């Protein structure tokens, strides 16, 4: 894995905007093609293998949480447990997830699993692919995101409730909308009937006990780029279990278990021999150098890096009330003071490609930049 600098395309802003990628620059550039990473095929194969294995272990860990009724460790409310278990035992449709991996000196360690609302799908699947077409068509990329999404939506089609598949996210965030519209694009290409509705426009009919879209059509299947923990604490949360349509929510409720950092100590307890896992505990004091993470933090908020009782870096944020876990410190590799984290996609049941985000510190936050890669 090498970090190489290069000249951005002359018209890169227009080039990526033509692909529908409108959030490439906020107050800091997000999409950065002045840099790319060159991966060797053997490295890509290693990432692919680790991703497949981590996915298998993750499923085993979900079963363990359910069998041993460990929901309390995740801060999951009791009233929602039956819904989680139903979605698991009935195998409700799920489509994707993204492992955040640290790849250093030939070793791969999982930092966390974004199993419920992973983003940067469009950058990984489309934007960096078209960059490669302009940059060097003869090269390949670890990237089958697009065709795997279409193929898996085709496969899921028969498992969905008859009717429309709604797609939803928050209003007012172009990044989320782009991710959702991209996902919907793939579903359309898979032959599904779809509709977009913003999450705050969803209606609830208390007589018929169903969710309705803006035209009054009942919601039977809904892909949400909106975390379960937010849904459950909101006014309509409890309606989900009263829903007369028994709508499929994608990602399904059991993904709440995997997207919660409490899964990290559980994975470690179950699979201490797995080379891709870092030691992790619910209790403080078992590790000398560790990263303290809130159960539900997003975008690197409220992370505390501690080495021998001294805090090296601490980020601010609004998370932590729900509790913390302690994970062995395995710092990101340093490439000229840039720290890349690998987002490795699982689509359906298979590894599907990767995207690299680069930060200027050990914590990958919302100031990090997405940079493309190619296979040498």
Partner 1 sequence: MGMKKSKYVELVLITAALASCNQPKPKADWDDNNKVHLRSDTTAPYTRVHHNGGMGIGTALLWFYAFRPYGNYRNDNYQRAGYYSGGISPMSNIGSNGFKGSLTRGGFGRGGYSVSS
Burial class (CB in 10 A: 0-12, 13-18, 19+), 288: exposed
Residue whose structure tokens are 């279409």: 150
**Judged by CB, which is closer to partner 1: 1, or 287?**
1
- Binding partner 1 (rule: CB under 8 A), the pick from 10, 105, 162, 215 is 215
Please answer whether residues 332 and 102 qualify as being in contact, where contact means their C-beta atoms are separated by less than 8 angstroms: yes
**Judged by CB, which is closer to partner 1: 2, or 238?**
238
Report the site for partner 1 in 103-122 (rule: CB under 8 A). 114, 117-120
**Rounded to an integer, what distance in angstroms lies between the CA atom of residue 173 and that of residue 170?**
6
Report the site for partner 1 in 66-85 (rule: CB under 8 A). none
**Rounded to an integer, what distance in angstroms lies between the CA atom of residue 23 and that of residue 118?**
16
Asked if 182 is part of the footprint of partner 1 (rule: CB under 8 A), the reply reads yes
Binding mask 336-365 for partner 1 (x = CB under 8 A): --------------xxxx------------
List residues bridging with 113 in a β-sheet: 99
Binding mask 30-69 for partner 1 (x = CB under 8 A): --------------xx--x---------------------
- Binding partner 1 (rule: CB under 8 A), the pick from 91, 136, 200, 360 is 200
Report the site for partner 1 in 293-332 (rule: CB under 8 A). 298-299
**Judged by CB, which is closer to partner 1: 287, or 357?**
357
Please answer whether residues 184 and 191 qualify as being in contact, where contact means their C-beta atoms are separated by less than 8 angstroms: no
Asked if 135 is part of the footprint of partner 1 (rule: CB under 8 A), the reply reads no
**Judged by CB, which is closer to partner 1: 47, or 287?**
47
**Rounded to an integer, what distance in angstroms lies between the CA atom of residue 278 and that of residue 127?**
31
Burial class (CB in 10 A: 0-12, 13-18, 19+), 9: middle
Q: Which one of 17-25, 101-109, 322-330, 334-342 is the stretch in contact with partner 1 (CB under 8 A)?
A: 17-25
Please answer whether residues 368 and 357 qualify as being in contact, where contact means their C-beta atoms are separated by less than 8 angstroms: yes
251 DSSP assignment: S
- Binding partner 1 (rule: CB under 8 A), the pick from 73, 166, 184, 261 is 184
**Judged by CB, which is closer to partner 1: 52, or 274?**
52
Q: Which one of 75-83, 225-233, 286-294, 304-312 is the stretch in contact with partner 1 (CB under 8 A)?
A: 225-233
**Rounded to an integer, what distance in angstroms lies between the CA atom of residue 264 and that of residue 261?**
6
Asked if 185 is part of the footprint of partner 1 (rule: CB under 8 A), the reply reads yes
**Rounded to an integer, what distance in angstroms lies between the CA atom of residue 176 and that of residue 149?**
17
């Amino acid at each position: 894995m090498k970090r190489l600098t290069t000249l951005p395309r002359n018209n890169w802003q227009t080039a990526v905007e033509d692909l529908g990628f409108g959030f490439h620059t906020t107050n800091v550039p997000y999409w950065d093609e002045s840099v790319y990473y060159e991966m060797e095929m053997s490295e890509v194969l290693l990432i692919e293998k680790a991703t497949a294995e981590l996915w298998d272990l993750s499923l085993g860990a979900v079963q363990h949480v359910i069998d041993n009724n460990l929901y309390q460790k995740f801060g999951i409310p009791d009233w929602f447990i039956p819904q989680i278990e139903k979605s698991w035992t009935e195998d409700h449709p799920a489509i994707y997830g993204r492992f955040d991996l640290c790849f250093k000196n030939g070793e791969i360690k999982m930092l966390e699993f974004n199993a419920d609302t992973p983003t940067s799908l469009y950058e990984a699947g489309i934007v960096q692919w078209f960059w490669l077409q302009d940059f060097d068509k003869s090269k390949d990329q670890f990237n089958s995101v697009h065709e795997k999404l279409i193929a898996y939506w085709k496969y899921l089609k028969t498992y969905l409730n008859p009717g429309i598949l709604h797609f939803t996210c928050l209003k007012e965030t172009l990044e989320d909308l782009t991710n959702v519209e991209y996902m919907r694009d793939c579903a359309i290409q898979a032959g599904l009937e779809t509709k977009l509705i913003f999450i705050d426009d969803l209606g609830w009919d208390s007589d018929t006990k169903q969710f309705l879209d803006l035209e009054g059509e009942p919601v039977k299947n809904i892909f949400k780029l909106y975390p379960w923990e937010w849904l459950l604490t909101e006014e309509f949360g409890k309606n989900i279990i009263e829903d007369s349509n028994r709508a499929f929510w994608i990602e399904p409720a059991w993904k709440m278990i995997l997207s919660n950092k409490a899964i990290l100590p559980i994975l470690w307890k179950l699979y201490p021999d797995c080379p891709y896992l870092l030691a992790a505990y619910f209790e403080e004091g078992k590790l000398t150098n560790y990263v303290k993470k809130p159960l539900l933090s997003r975008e690197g908020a409220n992370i505390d890096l501690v080495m021998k009782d001294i805090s090296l870096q601490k980020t601010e944020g609004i998370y932590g009330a729900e509790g913390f876990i302690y994970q062995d410190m395995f710092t990101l590799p340093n490439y000229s003071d840039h720290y890349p984290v690998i987002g490795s996609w699982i689509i359906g049941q298979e590894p599907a490609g990767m995207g690299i985000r680069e930060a200027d510190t050990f914590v990958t936050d919302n100031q990090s930049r997405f940079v493309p890669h190619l296979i040498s």
